[in-house]
C-alpha cells in the first residue's frame, strides 16, 4: 500500500474530488482526517471508509474560519499521532458573472474559500510536517487558473486558482530544504456538485477528456503527491494532460 502509515488531512471532503480522494487514500493505507462544512455528509464518507476497512475521522468546520485549519491539524495529531500530508481541496465556483456586474461579496468569498483557506491550511500544517521531518501538501487548482480557455464570467474563480499555483510554487521554494513538497493539481472539467453535477455545466464538461470527467480520477492524481513512487502531478504549475 503506497500510503500505509501516513496521516493525511483532506478538506472539501464531503463530496466530489475530496470524498473520492479520501476513499482512495484510505484504500492505500492512509489514516485520513476529513474536513468540510457539512457534518452529515462527512460522517457518511467516514462510515463508508470504515466499512471498507479503512481508518478515518472528521471535523466539520468552515475553511474561512482562521482557526479551523489549526483545529484540523490538532485533531489529526490527537487521533493518529502525527501529520504526513494534506490535500487542501476546498473550493467553490461562485457566480459566473462578468466583472462589471460582479458583486464584491462574490469576489471576496471565492478568494476566501479557494485561496485564503489554502494559505491558512498550509500555515497550520507546515509546522506539523516539519516535526515529522517532511511531508507533502497538494492544492486543488484548475486548468482555469492556468489558461482560462475562453470561459466568460470566471474572473474570481480563475484568479483564485491562479493564486494557488503561485502559492504552491512559493511554499515549495521556502520549504523544499525541510523535505516538504508542495504541489498543485490542475484538473480539467470534472463532474462534481461544485461544478454542476446536477446540470452538467457545458462550460466545464465540454473541456473534460474521458479520463478527467469524474472525481475518482482526480482523486487518483492527487494521490501522486503523497507517494515518491507516483510523483504524477504538477511541480511547476503545468496542467496535467492525463
Q: What are the DSSP calls for 69-131, one per residue?
A: HHHHHHHHHHHHS---EEEE----------GGG--HHHHHHHHIIIIIHHHHHHHHHHHHHHH
Q: What is the pLDDT of residue 227?
A: 62
Q: What is the pLDDT of residue 225?
A: 64
| pLDDT tens for each residue of 189-232 | 655 555 544 444 554 444 444 344 444 555 555 555 676 554 43
Q: What is the pLDDT of residue 125?
A: 98
Which has the minimum average pLDDT: 1-5, 88-92, 201-205? 201-205
Helix (H, G, I), strand (E, B) or coil at 203: helix
Q: What is the pLDDT of residue 210?
A: 37
Q: What is the pLDDT of residue 188?
A: 78
**pLDDT bucket at 1, cuts 50 / 70 / 90:** confident
Which has the minimum average pLDDT: 2-16, 54-68, 123-137, 138-152? 138-152
Q: Would you call 157 a catalytic residue per the annotation?
A: yes
The mean pLDDT of 78-92, rounded to a whole number, is: 97
CATH architecture of the domain covering 7-225: 3-Layer(aba) Sandwich (3.40)
Q: Structure pTM?
A: 0.82
Q: Is the predicted pLDDT of residue 234 greater than 70, yes or no?
A: no
What are the sequence ranges of the domains in the chain?
7-225
> Is the dihedral angle over the CA atoms 110, 112, 116, 122 positive or is it negative?
negative
> Which residue(s) pair with 35 in the sheet?
11, 59
Report the distance separating Cα 49 and Cα 43, nearest Å.
10
- Between strands 55-60 and 31-36, the pairing is parallel
Kindly name the residue from 68, 157, 204, 226 that is annotated as catalytic: 157
Amino acid at each position: 500500500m503506497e500510503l500505509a502509515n501516513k496521516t493525511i488531512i483532506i478538506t472539501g471532503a464531503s463530496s466530489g474530488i475530496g470524498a473520492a480522494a479520501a476513499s482512495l487514500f484510505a484504500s492505500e493505507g492512509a489514516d485520513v482526517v476529513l474536513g468540510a462544512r457539512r457534518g452529515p455528509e462527512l460522517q457518511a464518507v467516514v462510515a463508508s471508509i470504515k466499512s471498507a476497512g479503512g481508518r478515518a475521522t472528521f471535523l466539520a468546520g468552515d475553511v474561512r474560519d482562521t482557526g479551523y485549519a489549526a483545529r484540523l491539524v490538532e485533531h489529526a495529531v490527537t487521533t493518529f499521532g502525527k501529520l504526513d500530508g494534506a490535500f487542501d481541496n476546498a473550493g467553490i465556483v461562485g457566480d459566473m458573472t462578468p466583472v462589471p456586474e460582479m458583486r464584491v461579496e462574490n469576489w471576496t468569498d471565492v478568494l476566501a474559500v479557494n485561496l485564503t483557506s489554502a494559505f491558512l491550511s498550509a500555515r497550520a500544517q507546515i509546522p506539523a510536517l516539519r516535526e515529522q521531518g517532511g511531508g507533502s501538501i497538494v492544492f486543488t487548482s484548475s486548468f482555469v487558473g492556468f489558461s482560462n480557455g475562453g470561459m466568460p464570467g470566471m474572473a474570481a474563480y480563475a484568479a483564485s486558482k491562479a493564486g494557488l499555483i503561485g502559492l504552491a510554487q512559493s511554499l515549495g521554494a521556502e520549504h523544499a530544504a525541510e523535505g516538504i513538497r508542495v504541489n498543485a493539481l490542475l484538473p480539467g472539467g470534472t463532474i462534481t456538485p461544485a461544478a454542476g453535477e446536477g446540470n452538467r455545466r457545458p462550460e466545464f464538461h465540454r473541456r473534460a477528456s474521458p479520463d478527467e470527467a469524474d472525481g475518482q480520477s482526480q482523486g487518483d492524481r492527487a494521490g501522486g503527491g503523497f507517494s515518491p513512487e507516483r510523483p504524477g502531478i504538477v511541480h511547476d504549475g503545468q496542467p496535467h494532460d492525463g
